[in-house]
Each structure stands twice: as C-alpha cells, then as structure tokens.
Amino acid sequence: MRLLATGLLALLSLALSGCGYNTIQTQDEAVKAAWSEVVNQYQRRADLIPNLVNTVKGFAAQEQTVLIGVTEARARATSIQVTPEVLNDPEALKKFQAAQGELTNALKSLIAISENYPELKSDQNFRDLQAQLEGTENRITVARNRYIESVQAFNGTIRKFPVNLTAMMFSYDVKPNFTVENEAEIAHPPTVDFGTTPPAPAETPAPTN
C-alpha cells in the first residue's frame, strides 16, 4: 500500500508539473516579490516627504496651499492598505495607483516652487532631499515596470491551454495590473536642477570686411 501511495503521489506530482502547476506557483511568487518592491519604494518616498516639506516651509512658509496639498496627498496614499489581496482586486489597485499618482503631482508642485526661492534652491539640505527624491522616483519606475512584466507573464501563462484548466482547478485568476493612464508622465520623475548648468557660450560676431 505504501508503494502504491508513493507511486500515486509521484504520478500526481508529474501530472501537476506537466499541466503548469509549478509554473503558476513560480510566477505567482514573482508577482508578490515584485509588488513588495513597489510598496517598498513608495514607502521610501513617503518617508522623505516630511523632511522635504519642513525644509521648504523654512524658506517658503507662505506656500501653504502647496505644502498642505503634499501633506494631505501623502496621508491619503499611506492610508491605503497594501496587503497581498490588492493584487487580486482591480478596484483596490486602481485606488492605490490613483493615490500615488496624486502624490506624484503634489510633489512636482512642491519642487516647482523652489524656482521662486533662490535661498531654498541653494540650501544643501533641500538639494540632498531633491536628489534622494529623484533617485526614489527612478526606483519606483523600475519597480513598477518589473511588476507590470511579472503580472503580464503570470496572466499569459494561466490563459494558455492546458494551464488554464489547472488555474481554474486551483482558483487562480488573471491579476489586475497598473493602467497605462498617465504612464508616460509617471515615468519621468521630478528633475533636480542644482543651478550648475553652465551658460551657453555667447555667439562670436562674424568678422566684417
């Protein structure tokens, strides 16, 4: 009986492997890992914001509308639960994306006002925070792209025959993905201008005969 049970388990394992079960498991874990990196990078950005707001406030306290807008956008973005269930809930992912997009736009407004305050723009702490923010935005873009690719791979796999039968048997469904709405805008993080760009050389007047 023990040999029979062992044989049946071996056959079952072989059958599951042949019908894509192991591939589904691997790709599902890849999606979760990619999502964790997205969340980590967004959290990294959120952690930078209080210091950035306080630094700007020290030089431009009158910019209350922008400062409050960033603070409120951060609060909304960080209040959204980012549990693994989000990966299977299109509406939850849409809300998460919308909140993060709102925060991205608020940060762009905050960075833009530095052009009106030379002392703020030249402050070393502000420059350091800008550089960290730009680096984090770049990491967010990379993490989002990896997540998009991992979801595309997973969804493509479970739609193929006969893997789709296995997915149906174990209740695996296609996962929602980041939408392409505003994707081009999001892909370009706030730029850091340290005012070090050399001026364009003056044109040399043509010699007169």
Give ∠ CA 142-143-149 in degrees, rounded to 5: 90
Coil, strand, or helix at residue 1?
A: coil
Please report whether residue 186 resides in a domain: no
Domain enclosing residue 89, as ranges: 41-138
pLDDT given for residue 84 in this prediction: 75
Tell me the C-alpha distance between 190 and 130, whole Å: 9
pLDDT of residue 180: 61
Number of structural domains (the chain) is: 1
Q: What is the Cα 64 distance to its own chain's centre?
A: 27
Instruction: Tell if the pTM clears 0.85, that is, is over it.
Output: no
* pLDDT recorded at residue 78: 94
Residue 73 lies in a domain: yes
Q: What is the CATH number of the domain that holds 97?
A: 1.20.1440.20
Report if residue 14 sits inside a domain. no
Structural domain contains residue 175: no
Low-confidence residues in the chain, pLDDT < 50:
3-16, 182-204, 209
Q: What own/partner pairs with CB < 8 Å and gap ≥ 24 does 45-54 have?
A: 45/103, 45/133, 45/136, 45/137, 45/140, 46/74, 46/77, 46/78, 46/103, 48/129, 48/132, 48/133, 48/136, 49/74, 49/107, 51/125, 51/129, 52/110, 52/126, 52/129, 52/133, 53/110
- Quick check: is 104 in a domain? yes
- CB-based contacts of 136, cutoff 8 Å, min separation 6: 41, 44, 45, 48
**101 part of a folded domain:** yes
pLDDT of amino acid 198: 44
Q: Tell me, what DSSP letter sits at residue 85?
A: G
In a domain, 24, yes or no: no
For position 86, what pLDDT does the model report? 82
Please indicate, yes or no, if residue 160 is contained in any of the structural domains: no
Question: At a CB cut-off of 8 Å and minimum separation 6, what does 100 contact?
Answer: 42, 77
